[in-house]
Amino acid sequence: MVLEGYGLTETSAGACLVRIDDPVLGCVGPPIPGTEIRIAADGEVLVRGASVMRGYHGLPAETLEVLDADGWLSTGDVGELDPRGHLHITDRKKDLIKTSGGKYIAPQAIETMFKADCPLASQMVVHAEGRSHATALVTVDPDGLAQWAQARGMAETDYGRLSADPGVHDYVARSIEQVNSKVNRWETIKDFRILDRDLTVEDGEVTPSMKVRRKAVEAKYHALLDSMYS
């Protein structure tokens, strides 16, 4: 059995741990004895307890940035507490998107759900910073796309032309509808575009571990993103 946990150097390692007699998938468990967890208004996970540091040695300004007068440590992570007090980590605060209406969106949570719901998916990049609503750029997996075409008796093999096929668009749209049914109203994807190629490490769009470089992708495709708001 694998038990998930959560902690930082600033919390002397563990702050939360899934109990062996109460395993819950997809969470990092309740706080360990002597530790408190609170969720700030913007979704940031705050930790307080005897294991939390008293400050960074010789760095009072940096300490004030993360530790308040009541002993609450700002972790930089975004999460939720379920009704049973189990913590779910959903994103990093630096990756949070703020819409023009002041609502916060955790893009990685939506992107992960989409890739789980859409067998054709390779990448999704949720975009909403300063916008009235969320949109997305989507890429499809080359192997999955080829299998999809073969199963339909299609002779076409070119990625760019296949990714533009109306059937692929409808398939992706249905998957996005499934995701939209699971998120808050302001987090729903109102429009999307499927790119004619996958994101690559060589072009600086994803890291070697295949994490999206969000700002790089948004800069490269800013015109395409703008077209969904015109």
Residues 6+ apart with CB under 8 A from 175: 114, 117, 118, 120, 121
Can you give the pLDDT at residue 36?
96
- Number of Cβ within 10 Å of residue 167's Cβ equals 12
What local confidence, expressed as pLDDT, does residue 117 receive?
Answer: 93
pLDDT tens series, the chain, 230 aa: 788 999 999 999 789 999 998 888 889 999 999 999 999 988 899 999 999 999 999 999 989 999 999 999 999 898 999 999 999 998 888 888 899 999 989 898 899 999 999 999 999 999 999 999 999 999 999 999 999 999 999 988 899 999 999 999 999 999 999 999 999 999 999 999 999 999 998 999 988 878 888 999 999 999 999 999 98
Predicted local distance difference test score (pLDDT) of residue 85: 92
Contacts of 227 (CB under 8 A, 6+ apart): 193
| Cα three-residue angle 47-102-123, rounded to 5 degrees | 80
pTM assigned to the model: 0.71
Of 124, 157, 152, which Cα lies nearest the Cα of 142? 157
In the chain, the domains with their CATH numbers are 5-93 (2.30.38.10), 97-227 (3.30.300.30)
pLDDT at 109: 86
Per-residue tokens: 188: 């729903």
**Going along 69-133, which residue ranges are E strands?**
73-81, 87-92, 97-98, 104-105, 121-127
Q: Distance between CA atoms of 205 and 65, rounded to whole angstroms?
A: 31
pLDDT, residue 23, reads 85
